Amino acid sequence: MVTTMISAKDLELIALRELRSVPGGEYIAHVEVDPISDEWRLNVTARDGADLDRIQEAIKTTTNRLKQRYVLRTDW
């Protein structure tokens, strides 16, 4: 599978759009990419009233899907 190099800012915008599209995702206020050595993870802030279990599962699924498509650019 071919992966695309992407900046952290662009990845954050894509992740936010995808996470907000899942049921309960309207409570997600902010997404930040946290680079960890060769990997990265998503840090998400949710507003009051969010179903945290549902959001946690959406984060896990979205992160796995995005890692298959994108490689984080480290030259920023």
Phi, psi of 6 (to 5 degrees): -145, 150
pLDDT above 80 for 1: no
Q: Residue 31 burial (CB < 10 Å; 0-12/13-18/19+)?
A: buried
pLDDT above 60 for 63: yes
Structure tokens belonging to residue 15: 């992740």
On whether the CB atoms of residues 46 and 29 are closer than 8 A, the answer is yes
This prediction has a pTM of 0.90
Residue 76: per-residue pLDDT: 55
* 10-50 pLDDT, tens digit each: 999 999 999 999 999 999 999 999 988 678 999 999 999 99
| Lowest mean pLDDT across 1-5, 21-25, 45-49, 57-61 | 1-5
- Going from N- to C-terminal start, the domains of the chain cover 4-72
